[in-house]
Chain A
Amino acid sequence: MTSPLNREALLQAYRTMRIIRDFEERVHVDFATGEIPGFVHLYAGEEASATGICMHLNRKDYIASTHRGHGHCIAKGVDPVSMMAEIWGKATGTCKGKGGSMHIADLEVGMLGANGIVGGGGPLICGTALASKIRGENNVGVCFFGDGASNQGTIFEAMNLASVWKLPVIFVAENNGYAEATSSNFSVAVDNIADRASAFGMPGVIVDGFDFFAVYEAAGEAIKRAREGHGPTLLEVKLSRYYGHFEGDQQTYRAPGEVQKLRETKDCLMQFAKRVTSRGELSAADIEAIDAEVKAMIDASVVKAKADPLPAPSELMTDVYVSY
């Protein structure tokens, strides 16, 4: 059993999930006005996964993320204000406006990057874990990937490699049921992605991604195992995305009312608040205070992002190499 969360940790968990939710809902609104450039994939609905997992990590642990990476970034400690500026393509962005939504990275906090290439993160995270292992540190690597990505050769190769080398890696399959418009019922040949774990000699665990506490618990076990040198785990988190594949997706492939029903019955923030308040672990006032503080922070981040300067023309030619 992972040790129970104290008040401070509960506040942190709720706050992180709330930041992710508000961040994404705000990007959703602003994208619709046409002001945000490029492709944007929102993580709303999936907050418990990134949060429940990253709460076990420290700055030296790495995560590899996906095109749907905002939530992973926030949970790993990337500054949401700089992320907002990045998404708006501003010079003050996390990556100076050069990467955008799909490429937010902050190596200082162990965030190896969102990724535009589906399945790109699996091999990379084996590498960060290998480095940690070779240096005799006990840091881990977490690779987030989707149900769609679970069918990519890179993910299979990475899982095998992690087992062969007994690397401290946690493979987190975030199964939200769809890859773009394609259902995981079609694309994944087995019932559960976690069923594949045995093929790679590692434990496979299924967890309810709407339940922060379930994710936190399962991740705790897997990460402990990895830190203690027992090798990788495959964690399948079953969840749902609230918005389209990317902003602008009409989602005619989904059943009508599918998302609405989940929002009303299973939403991770709702469940969390209900549980902690009914148990008296946090008060309604605690929750409201976080809601208000986060809302103000997100609003301010947008005001700032809009006002911030675009990258200067000279930036076009910089950062290609360390030296050349």
Chain B
Amino acid sequence: MARKITYQQAINEALDQEMTRDPSVIVMGEDVAGGAGSPGEDDAWGGVLGVTKGLYAKHPGRVMDTPISESGYIGAAVGAACNGLRPVAELMFIDFMGVCFDQIFNQAAKFRYMFGGKAKTPVVIRAMYGAGFRAAAQHSQCLYNMFTHVPGLKVVVPSNPYDAKGLLIQSIRDNDPVIFLEHKALYTMEGDVPAESYIVPFGEAAVVQEGDDVTIVAIGRMVNYAKEAAANLRKKGIQCEIIDPRTTSPLDTDTILESVERTGRLVVVDESSPRCSMASDISGFIAQEAFGALKAPIQMVTAPHVPVPFAASLEDLYIPSPARIEEAVMKVKEYR
């Protein structure tokens, strides 16, 4: 039975259901309970924005606050995954990957291959990403492209509550290391989510809406901006097809390719800065595989090549907007 819950509640529910189903699932991170050793409430925070609130009481001993030692506990999650647990480790802000990246990209990501297919590392690293909170340069980055670049990691970027729940359950059951990224601006987004457990498979893009004029591929929060832009464009008689890859690794290139071969026009919307981004990755792929089908140069709508600024006036300019998506669509549409 589906009811409306938020993205944040969907994530909490996925964790709760998987912890109930499988005793090998544990949750760890800084303040995921929030209150370790403190005189007041044990579960005072439930994560810095309350996403894991309530799990501590429901799953005694399996929701663990950690010291601020990301290399230590992210690495420990990886090791525990090698030894039969299914840890979900929370990195809080994805920007903190800088502190512990070795444990992720040299260790977790490479075990399977280096060890000749003998290792299995079913760890999930959850973190929030994205701009829009006036949180400045060290708390607002996207960085999914960095993880996508690394063979051995799977990277998940849900754009709505339904996908968040199904993809997180799949992430926990998946036998490879998964980076699960939650856009902080989406936590309060509501949507229909079944109460029962279900999975959304990796590597299967969602066709959010169909259209024959222009293909828009958008990542994470940008899917919603693409929808806004598409609604305006429809009034001008332009039908956009919106594709949400849902996972950037694996990437469902078939769905993107099929769409662009039909529309001949592609706009890629990516909140991160443009160099070596998902936007350039998808654009490069289409340029190589569907050159003959293209009726216009591909347009990338991205943030500029700068760190995320603090001031409201600058951050609002930094983030790709529905208006910029519309402009890019008009450009590819009017090209010839």
**A residues whose Cβ falls under 8 Å from a Cβ of B:** 37-39, 89-91, 95, 97-100, 102-103, 115-119, 148-149, 151-154, 178-188, 250-256, 258, 310-313, 315-317, 320
A-B contacts, 6 listed (Cβ < 8 Å) = A89-B311, A153-B69, A179-B68, A181-B45, A187-B37, A315-B314
Q: What are the residues of chain B within 8 A of A187 when measuring CB–CB? A: 36-37, 67-68
Name A99's contact: one of B48, B68, B136 (CB within 8 Å): B136
B65:A186 contact, CB within 8 angstroms: yes
Chain A binding surface, main DSSP class? loop
Name A316's contact: one of B48, B133, B317 (CB within 8 Å): B317
- The 3 A-B residue pairs with the shortest CB-CB distance, nearest first, are A186-B37, A183-B37, A116-B138
A116:B37 contact, CB within 8 angstroms: no
Cα of A119 to Cα of B98 in the assembled complex, Å = 12
On whether A38 and B72 interact (CB within 8 A), knowing A117-B96, A182-B37, the answer reads no
A178's nearest neighbour on chain B, judged by CB, is: B38
Q: What are the residues of chain B within 8 A of A252 when measuring CB–CB? A: 35, 40-41, 44
User: Which residues between 289 and 332 of chain B lie within 8 Å of chain A, taking CB atoms?
Assistant: 304-307, 309-314, 317-318
- Contact size class for B? 35 or more
User: Which residues between 45 and 68 of chain B lie within 8 Å of chain A, taking CB atoms?
Assistant: 45, 48, 65, 67-68
On whether A311 and B313 interact (CB within 8 A), knowing A100-B134, A154-B99, A180-B34, the answer reads yes
B36:A182 contact, CB within 8 angstroms: yes
Cα of A118 to Cα of B98 in the assembled complex, Å = 11
Q: What are the residues of chain A within 8 A of B134 when measuring CB–CB? A: 37-38, 89, 100
B71's nearest neighbour on chain A, judged by CB, is: A153
> Which of A95, A256, A316 lies at the interface centre, i.e. has the most chain B CB atoms within 10 A of its CB?
A316
Could you give, for residues 135-158 of chain B, a 1 whenever the CB lies within 8 Å of some chain A CB and a 0 otherwise? Answer: 111110000000000000000000
Chain B binding surface, main DSSP class? loop
Report the minimal beta-carbon distance from B64 to chain A, rounded to whole angstroms: 11
Report the minimal beta-carbon distance from B59 to chain A, rounded to whole angstroms: 18
Cα of A85 to Cα of B109 in the assembled complex, Å = 44
Cα of A153 to Cα of B40 in the assembled complex, Å = 28
Cα of A149 to Cα of B36 in the assembled complex, Å = 16
Could you give, for residues 212-224 of chain B, a 1 whenever the CB lies within 8 Å of some chain A CB and a 0 otherwise? Answer: 0000000000000
Q: What are the residues of chain B within 8 A of A311 when measuring CB–CB? A: 309, 311, 313-314
User: Which residues between 23 and 42 of chain B lie within 8 Å of chain A, taking CB atoms?
Assistant: 30-31, 34-41
B68:A119 contact, CB within 8 angstroms: yes
- B95 an interface residue at 8 Å Cβ cutoff? yes
Q: What are the residues of chain A within 8 A of B36 when measuring CB–CB? A: 181-183, 186-187
Q: What are the residues of chain B within 8 A of A255 when measuring CB–CB? A: 39-40
B98's nearest neighbour on chain A, judged by CB, is: A117
Name B38's contact: one of A38, A102, A183 (CB within 8 Å): A183
Report the minimal beta-carbon distance from A227 to chain B, rounded to whole angstroms: 31
B39's nearest neighbour on chain A, judged by CB, is: A255
A99:B37 contact, CB within 8 angstroms: no
Q: What are the residues of chain A within 8 A of B48 when measuring CB–CB? A: 180
Q: What are the residues of chain B within 8 A of A115 when measuring CB–CB? A: 138
Cα of A185 to Cα of B39 in the assembled complex, Å = 10
Report the minimal beta-carbon distance from B36 to chain A, rounded to whole angstroms: 4
Cα of A183 to Cα of B70 in the assembled complex, Å = 17
Report the minimal beta-carbon distance from A135 to chain B, rounded to whole angstroms: 29
> Which of B44, B71, B314, B317 lies at the interface centre, i.e. has the most chain A CB atoms within 10 A of its CB?
B314
B40:A310 contact, CB within 8 angstroms: no
Cα of A187 to Cα of B30 in the assembled complex, Å = 10
B312:A182 contact, CB within 8 angstroms: no
A86's nearest neighbour on chain B, judged by CB, is: B310
Cα of A185 to Cα of B65 in the assembled complex, Å = 13
Q: What are the residues of chain A within 8 A of B72 when measuring CB–CB? A: 153
Q: What are the residues of chain A within 8 A of B69 when measuring CB–CB? A: 151-153
